[in-house]
């Protein structure tokens, strides 16, 4: 049995098709990373799987239950931390964690034990006894993450859980995700805007773009799919003028143009890079940098979607300042 399964899952908002027929299967005990540009359909997909949005068409089963026919059964078995936390600011963090535990039927002793664990995880400290409306935005995100974990769900949905956390807190979340998966066999569905997070944590990664799943596999498989080595040339001029010459270089298996970058896939970058430099010089295309490296998930993302995964750095910096306060 799959932990999460979607078949031809679609969601329309008027004439806008936000999710355009997603098929996926997440195995029990797997950490599944879900990547995509802004507006690609990531959060809409997660909300359907969590029963917060009804699909326009298609089917989805989570923890063995249909998300439309049996949403209550699904909710009992999942934990969810979404991008926008809806938390009652009139209560303290401790009161909200206690209420969350009681809603899931936990005994008082279990609530107390698990509360200590999750408070340490999210590093709220003594502020756990303050009213939530005094929390910064980053602290509210951390409390929301703690609330999603206190009942130790079978399946945990994390929608960009570490956005707005400082590096120390982010690493603590990574450690806890690994522990939950390793010790409790918890299935984790993780959307993230940090490629290193998906590379570090995910057993498999799916890349969604324009509402469809465009690529899927282990991080290693996805990186290998675009070549053993990668030569990246940044140019000051029209890069397409050099494509034909680069394709003719012995050992180059593919050339892609992305903005002012030329990406060349090759099995042996060290032996090919000199020929690439000669070919670029012969095309009279000014080169600002020429780099040889192994592929990363960012290269996979660029190959699949045509752009780098962009993080709203100004918003992230603002939240980081709040998280550190």
pLDDT digits (tens, 9 = 90+) for 224-266: 887 778 899 999 988 888 999 999 999 999 899 988 999 999 9
DSSP string, 64-106: TEETTT-HHHHHHTEEEE-SS----TTSBHHHHHHHHHHHTT-
183-209 pLDDT, tens digit per residue, is 889 999 999 888 888 999 999 999 999
Three-state SS for 175-232 is: HHHHHHHHHHCCEEEEECCCHHHHHHHCCEEEEEECCEEEEEECHHHHHHCCCCEEEE
Of 24, 16, 12, the C-alpha closest to 57 is: 12
The average confidence (pLDDT) of the chain is 87
Alpha-carbon torsion 49, 50, 53, 59, what sign? positive
Rounded to an integer, the average pLDDT of 142-159 is: 88
> Residues near 82 by Cβ (< 8 Å), separated by ≥ 6?
43, 46, 47, 50, 144, 157, 159
The architecture of the domain spanning 4-217 is 3-Layer(aba) Sandwich (3.40)
Ranges of CATH 3.30.70.980 domains, the chain: 227-294
Q: Are 64 and 17 in contact (CB under 8 A)?
A: no
Sheet arrangement for strand 16-26: 16-26, 4-13, 57-62, 65-66
> What distances in angstroms separate CA 17 from CA 9, 56, 58, 157, 211, one per listed residue?
11, 9, 13, 23, 7
The answer on pLDDT for 325 being more than 50 is no
Determine the angle formed by the axes of helices 313-324 and 137-149, rounding to 10 degrees: 80
**Using an 8 Å Cβ cutoff, are 122 and 169 in contact?**
yes
- Is residue 117 packed enough to be buried (19+ CB in 10 Å), middle (13-18) or exposed (0-12)? middle
Average pLDDT of span 276-280: 93
What is the second-level CATH architecture of the domain 227-294? 2-Layer Sandwich (3.30)
pLDDT band (50, 70, 90) for residue 317: very low
CATH code 3.40.50.300 region(s) in the chain: 4-217
Q: Are 36 and 207 in contact (CB under 8 A)?
A: yes
């Amino acid at each position: 049995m799959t932990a999460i399964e979607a078949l031809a899952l679609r969601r329309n908002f008027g004439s806008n098709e936000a999710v355009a027929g997603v098929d996926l299967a997440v195995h029990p005990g797997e950490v599944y990373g879900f990547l995509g540009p802004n507006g690609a359909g990531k959060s809409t997909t997660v909300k359907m799987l969590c029963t917060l949005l009804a699909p326009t068409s298609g089917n989805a089963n989570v923890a063995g239950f249909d998300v439309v026919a049996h949403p209550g059964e699904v909710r009992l078995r999942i934990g969810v931390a979404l991008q926008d936390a809806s938390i009652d600011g009139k209560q303290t963090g401790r009161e909200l964690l206690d209420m969350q535990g009681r809603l899931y039927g936990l005994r008082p002793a279990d609530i107390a034990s698990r509360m200590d664990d999750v408070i340490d995880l999210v590093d709220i400290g003594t502020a756990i006894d303050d009213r939530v409306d005094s929390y910064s935005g980053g602290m509210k995100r951390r409390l929301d993450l703690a609330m999603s974990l206190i009942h130790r769900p079978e399946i945990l949905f994390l929608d960009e859980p570490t956005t707005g956390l400082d590096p120390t807190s982010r690493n603590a979340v990574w450690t806890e995700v690994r522990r939950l998966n390793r010790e409790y066999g918890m299935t984790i569905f993780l959307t993230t805007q940090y490629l290193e997070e998906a590379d570090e944590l995910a057993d498999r990664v799916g890349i969604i773009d324009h509402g469809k799943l465009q690529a899927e596999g282990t991080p290693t498989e996805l990186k290998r799919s675009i070549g053993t080595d990668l030569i990246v040339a940044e140019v000051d001029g029209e890069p397409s003028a050099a494509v034909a010459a680069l394709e003719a270089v012995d050992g180059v298996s593919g050339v892609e143009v992305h903005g002012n970058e030329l990406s060349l896939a090759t099995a042996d970058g060290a032996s090919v890079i000199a020929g690439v430099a000669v070919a670029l010089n012969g095309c009279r295309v000014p080169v600002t940098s020429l780099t040889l490296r192994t592929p990363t998930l960012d290269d996979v993302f660029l190959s699949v979607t045509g752009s780098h995964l962009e993080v709203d750095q100004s918003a992230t910096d603002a939240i980081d300042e709040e998280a550190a306060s």
